[in-house]
Chain A
Amino acid sequence: MEQPLSIELKNCTMGYGNFVVLKNISLQIPAGRIVAILGGSGGGKTTLLRHITGLNRPFSGEIFLEGKSLWSQSGRDFQKLRGSMGVLFQDGALLGQLTVAENVGLRLSELTKLNKKTIREIALYYLSLVDLADYAEFYPTELSGGMRKRVGLARALVAEPPILLCDEPTSGLDPINAAKMDELLLSMKERFPAMTIVSISHDLASVHKTAAQVVVLNEGHIAYNGNFSGLENTQDPFLRQFIERKVSSDKQEEALEKSLPDNIRQLMYDSLKDIIHRS
């Protein structure tokens, strides 16, 4: 049976100001899937995510969420569509003036009439999913980068939104915690089969383990869209480099071989000789 589409992009051109990042992108994501977005650093993955959440408006093209065109909705319907998404930002984007537990419960405390005790209990539950229940009273600045990211994920998971968007949930985490994140996403998927999870990642092992659909962005286009085994068997030179972790081009080798002129290097060393100890 065909799954209904959860996210659909039709010929979207995206960017900032007058700087185009992604050109004429079309993408279909059926409901109830884990989709991994891959691509080089600066390749526009975060940009894609920001446009799906409606934070930025595409220059052209249309974005459909749950079959509805995002930008032709009236205010309230737009909010409702957006409310169906939980978003983990690349840097967590936790509110600095609130504690971890308050951050996780923020949506409930702001938008519902639930009492404080209930909200706290809910927040602690989601924090325990990311193994951070002991840190409920900490402020975001008192956490490590990886911990902030996990709190961000806990916040995005509240109320199990139909669409979960994660910007690099595993980057900055050690292998054990990264594996835990994968398990968490898979168990979410198992317990809430209708949940669509879009996860940006640089971690091929984790993508292989979790994702049913893999999208690779390169130079403003979609270079690959399909399942992981298809990606492994591809003959496309860029994709091969990508999955084999090979240095991408002669350009890069050239850059590595390029050397700073000797006199300039000497000048730099000399001027720093009181600052950098060199034996």
Chain B
Amino acid sequence: MSDCKKKLKRPVSGSKTADLIAAIGSLVVFLINEIGAMALFMFGGLRAMVNFTSQISKILRQIAAIGYGSLFLIILIGLFTGMVIGLQGYHTLSQFGSTGFLGSAVALSLIRELAPVLTAIMVTGRAGSAMSAEIGVMRITDQIDALEVMNINPMNFLIAPRLTASLISFPLLTSLFAVVGIFGGYITGVLLLDMSSGIYFSRINSSVVWGDVLGCLVKAVVFAILVVTVCCYKGFFVHLRLDGKGAEAVGNATTSAVVLSCILILIFDYVITSFHM
């Protein structure tokens, strides 16, 4: 990592074009370095998860922070997402006289896309930013160095419990989001508008297949790894940032962790969906 710091220092040259090319080149090198380092970081974290039996109390603490702490938020967002799809879907479908399909529309869009993506983005904002800031502060106050000289692997101590906790929490939160969202669609479609509840649920039953649910859970798992890797990585290497030092760097790291996580969630969502179709 310290290498890319050096490489980013541009060589001085007279010509503007050469400078531009050098700048682009060093940016590309920096990005490739960053992706490689992040991938290594991820594998380190996943490997450290093997020792989960010795980390149970830390994992539970993280589940409380990531999972339990996000419950209310997920229920709230899930409910309103479901309700608004119900409303939009109802009006669109009524133009074709097929409001009977509302159940399928709500359930499929939630299970396939909205539940995993919105859950991941919400949890990134809530728990991912906290991870990044917490680990970043530990870095700039020598706490991670202290762990290292005590031979306590920071991967075991800090990253693996967060990974395990997220791998447990994300699928559960995503499922909860979908269920609450379907209920939200029920509220608009059946209770506020004039659909029959039998049709709403039987359409869900007949249109959602096991593959949809599986795809939803796969996304949740992938996003869990993604979010924890990006957020922890940004905090862990906060001291190598070039755009600030100290507290400012922690702030920048947190911002970039959230932004990058959200972007990657959407990109990976597309990739997974395209494999699935």
Chain A residues near B (Cβ < 8 Å): 17-18, 50, 53-55, 79, 82-83, 85, 87, 89-91, 93-97, 106-107, 110-111, 155
Docked-complex contact B151 and A111, CB < 8 angstroms: yes
Docked-complex contact A55 and B148, CB < 8 angstroms: yes
Q: Which residues of chain B in 112-164 are interfacial with respect to chain A, using CB atoms and an 8 Å cutoff?
A: 134, 137-138, 141-143, 145-152, 156-157
Nearest A residue to B54 via CB reads: A110
Q: Which residues of B contact A97 (CB under 8 A)?
A: 134
Given A17-B2, A89-B146, A95-B146, CB of A82 within 8 Å of CB of B151: yes
In the complex, what distance in Å separates the CA atom of A106 from the CA atom of B154? 13
In the complex, what distance in Å separates the CA atom of A53 from the CA atom of B5? 23
Q: Which residues of B contact A96 (CB under 8 A)?
A: 137-138, 141, 143
Docked-complex contact B149 and A91, CB < 8 angstroms: no
Least Cβ distance of B243 to chain A in Å?
16
13 residue pairs A–B, Cβ–Cβ below 8 Å: A17-B6, A50-B145, A55-B145, A55-B148, A82-B148, A90-B142, A93-B142, A93-B145, A94-B143, A96-B141, A110-B152, A110-B156, A111-B152
Least Cβ distance of B62 to chain A in Å?
12
Cβ-defined partner of A95 (8 Å) among B138, B148, B151, B156: B138
Nearest B residue to A85 via CB reads: B149
Least Cβ distance of B42 to chain A in Å?
19
Least Cβ distance of B160 to chain A in Å?
12
Q: Which residues of B contact A82 (CB under 8 A)?
A: 148-149, 151
In the complex, what distance in Å separates the CA atom of A91 from the CA atom of B134? 18
Report which residue of B145, B147, B150 has the largest number of chain A beta carbons within 10 angstroms of its beta carbon.
B150
Nearest A residue to B157 via CB reads: A110
Docked-complex contact A18 and B6, CB < 8 angstroms: yes
Least Cβ distance of B251 to chain A in Å?
18
In the complex, what distance in Å separates the CA atom of A106 from the CA atom of B151? 11
In the complex, what distance in Å separates the CA atom of A53 from the CA atom of B142? 13
Main secondary structure of the interface of A (DSSP, over half): loop
Nearest B residue to A16 via CB reads: B2
Q: Which residues of B contact A90 (CB under 8 A)?
A: 142
Q: Which residues of A contact B146 (CB under 8 A)?
A: 87, 89, 93-95
In the complex, what distance in Å separates the CA atom of A50 from the CA atom of B145? 9
Docked-complex contact A89 and B151, CB < 8 angstroms: no
Q: Which residues of B contact A50 (CB under 8 A)?
A: 145
Least Cβ distance of A71 to chain B in Å?
15
In the complex, what distance in Å separates the CA atom of A54 from the CA atom of B148? 9
Given A17-B2, A17-B6, CB of A93 within 8 Å of CB of B143: yes
Least Cβ distance of A187 to chain B in Å?
23
Docked-complex contact A107 and B150, CB < 8 angstroms: yes
Q: Which residues of A contact B152 (CB under 8 A)?
A: 106-107, 110-111
Least Cβ distance of B70 to chain A in Å?
20
Q: Which residues of A contact B150 (CB under 8 A)?
A: 87, 106-107, 110, 155
Q: Which residues of A contact B2 (CB under 8 A)?
A: 17
In the complex, what distance in Å separates the CA atom of A243 from the CA atom of B10? 45
Docked-complex contact B6 and A89, CB < 8 angstroms: no
Q: Which residues of B contact A95 (CB under 8 A)?
A: 138, 143, 146-147
In the complex, what distance in Å separates the CA atom of A79 from the CA atom of B148? 9
Nearest B residue to A81 via CB reads: B151
Nearest A residue to B148 via CB reads: A55
Q: Which residues of A contact B143 (CB under 8 A)?
A: 93-96
Least Cβ distance of A262 to chain B in Å?
35
Docked-complex contact B145 and A83, CB < 8 angstroms: no
Q: Which residues of B contact A79 (CB under 8 A)?
A: 151
Q: What are the nearest 3 A-B pairs in CB distance? A: A93-B146, A93-B142, A87-B149
Q: Which residues of A contact B138 (CB under 8 A)?
A: 95-96
Given A83-B151, A110-B157, A111-B152, CB of A89 within 8 Å of CB of B5: no
Report which residue of B5, B137, B148 has the largest number of chain A beta carbons within 10 angstroms of its beta carbon.
B148
In the complex, what distance in Å separates the CA atom of A55 from the CA atom of B146? 9
Q: Which residues of A contact B148 (CB under 8 A)?
A: 55, 82
Least Cβ distance of B65 to chain A in Å?
11
Docked-complex contact A93 and B141, CB < 8 angstroms: yes
Docked-complex contact A89 and B145, CB < 8 angstroms: yes
In the complex, what distance in Å separates the CA atom of A82 from the CA atom of B152? 11
Given A55-B148, A83-B151, A85-B149, CB of A17 within 8 Å of CB of B141: no
In the complex, what distance in Å separates the CA atom of A17 from the CA atom of B138? 21
Q: Which residues of B contact A83 (CB under 8 A)?
A: 151
In the complex, what distance in Å separates the CA atom of A36 from the CA atom of B151? 25
Least Cβ distance of B109 to chain A in Å?
40
Report which residue of B146, B147, B156 has the largest number of chain A beta carbons within 10 angstroms of its beta carbon.
B146
Docked-complex contact A89 and B142, CB < 8 angstroms: yes
Q: Which residues of A contact B141 (CB under 8 A)?
A: 91, 93, 96
Give me 16 other A-B pairs in contact (C-beta within 8 A), A55-B148, A95-B143, A107-B151 excluded: A18-B6, A50-B145, A53-B149, A82-B149, A82-B151, A83-B151, A85-B149, A87-B149, A87-B150, A93-B141, A93-B146, A94-B146, A95-B146, A106-B150, A107-B150, A111-B151
